[in-house]
Amino acid sequence: MKNSGNLPERIIFPQGEKVGNEHFIGTAWLSLLVPYDEMYHCPVYNVTFEPGARNSWHKHPGGQILLVTGGRGYYQEDGKKARVLRAGDVVTIPPHVKHWHGAAPDSLFTHIGITTNTHLGDAEWLEPVSDEEYDRLP
Amino acid sequence: MKNSGNLPERIIFPQGEKVGNEHFIGTAWLSLLVPYDEMYHCPVYNVTFEPGARNSWHKHPGGQILLVTGGRGYYQEDGKKARVLRAGDVVTIPPHVKHWHGAAPDSLFTHIGITTNTHLGDAEWLEPVSDEEYDRLP
């Protein structure tokens, strides 16, 4: 994917590499802007979801922050209505809250992600967001 | 300042309020996207510098990360050449490194800032970047 297609805003941060793991449905791209290290303790990454792409339900033991830079997508916490996200939106995800994020069916979606309190451990990955759940979204 | 003038890209995150302290020359705007708190320990803020605006030399005891979202500006470490910054650039500022950042003379400049390792304390503010130093920049 290059910057053709239906990206509503121009890409600011590098798109990076295709995400190649089982915790995503559809195609997503990830570029690590600041790797985890012992100086900053603050990994920062740019994630681009193609239309319809989303990650599985998951939890972060130390929380996460999302800064939306383009497109249209969703953030949903378990048991709550999905929140529609657009450029300029900020999401704070408390530790241990089960959630997912991803693109709308008809739009790319790009956010910066920041993993907070990294000393508390890695994300815990759970079940995928089924087509049934996803197709019910606004 | 509204979104008129010479902002090369559109503003993504809120512009916020005018910075009203003695550590800036010229006009800058700050919006706190994620305040410091005891859950995330990760303050995130959007800073917009009007053309010619810059902060004073300063140090962060726990470091800082800058993610440039628009315009053209500078980052300079003490004793080094200034780095020209544009949208998509990422700057990692190690703890205790004396530096400043700000706009080019003829462009707005917007970056997200992340203060890392907040438990190590507040920024230490030093002398302003004189017109003489600033006017020598590329």
Q: Read off the pLDDT of residues B76-102 as tens digits, 9 standing for 90 and up.
A: 999 999 999 999 999 999 999 999 999
- Domain A24-135 -> CATH class: mainly beta
Residue A124, classed as helix, strand or coil, is: strand
Cα–Cα distance, B108 to B110 (Å, whole number): 7
Shortest CA gap B137–chain A (Å): 25
Looking from the CA of B133 toward its CB, the CA atoms found within 13 Å total 22
Picking from B119, B113, B112, B114, the residue whose alpha carbon sits closest to that of residue B38 is B119
Greatest Cα-to-Cα distance within chain A, rounded to the nearest angstrom: 43
| A15-72 pLDDT per residue, tens | 999 998 999 999 999 999 999 999 999 999 999 999 999 999 999 999 999 999 999 9
Are A112 and B67 inside 8 Å of each other by CB? yes
- Amino acid B35: pLDDT: 97
Q: Which positions in chain A touch B90 (Cβ < 8 Å)?
A: 13, 33-34, 44
Rounded mean pLDDT, A74-78: 98
The alpha carbon of residue B16 is apart from the nearest alpha carbon of chain A, in Å, by: 12
Any idea which fold B44-135 has? Jelly Rolls (2.60.120)
Closest Cα in chain B to A118? B40
Distance CA B80, CA A5 (A): 41
Q: Is A88 on the interface with B (CB under 8 A)?
A: yes
CB of B97 less than 8 A from some CB of A? no
Cα angle value A12/B30/B120 (rounded, 5°) = 95
Q: Any idea where the domains of chain A sit in the sequence?
A: 24-135
Q: Quote the minimal CA–CA distance from B131 to chain A in Å.
A: 31
Q: Do A116 and B42 touch (CB under 8 A)?
A: yes
Beta bridge partners of A129: none
Chain A environment of B41 (Cβ under 8 Å): 116-117
Nearest to A58 by CA among A10, A5, A121: A121
Q: What pLDDT, in 10s, does the model give residues B23-78?
A: 999 999 999 999 999 999 999 999 999 999 999 999 999 999 999 999 999 999 99
For an interface test with B, give the residue of A44, A72, A111 to mutate (most B CBs within 10 A).
A44
Among candidate residues B56, B127, B121, B116, the one with its CA nearest the CA of residue B91: B116
This model of the complex carries an ipTM of 0.92
Give the model's pLDDT for residue B10.
58
A-B contacts at Cβ under 8 angstroms: 73
pLDDT at B11 over 80: no
Query: What CA–CA distance (Å, rounded) separates A82 from A84?
Result: 6
Q: Which of residues 11-50 of A touch B (CB under 8 A)?
A: 12-14, 33-34, 39-42, 44
Report the residue from B41, B87, B112 with minimal CB separation from A116: B41
The SS3 assignment for B14 reads: coil
Amino acid letter, residue A100: W
User: How far apart are the CA of A13 and the nearest CA of chain B, in angstroms?
Assistant: 4
Closest-CA distance of chain A to residue B132, Å: 32
HSE of A78, CA atoms in CB hemisphere, 13 A: 12
For residues A6 and B77, give the distance between their C-alpha atoms in angstroms, rounded to a whole number. Answer: 39
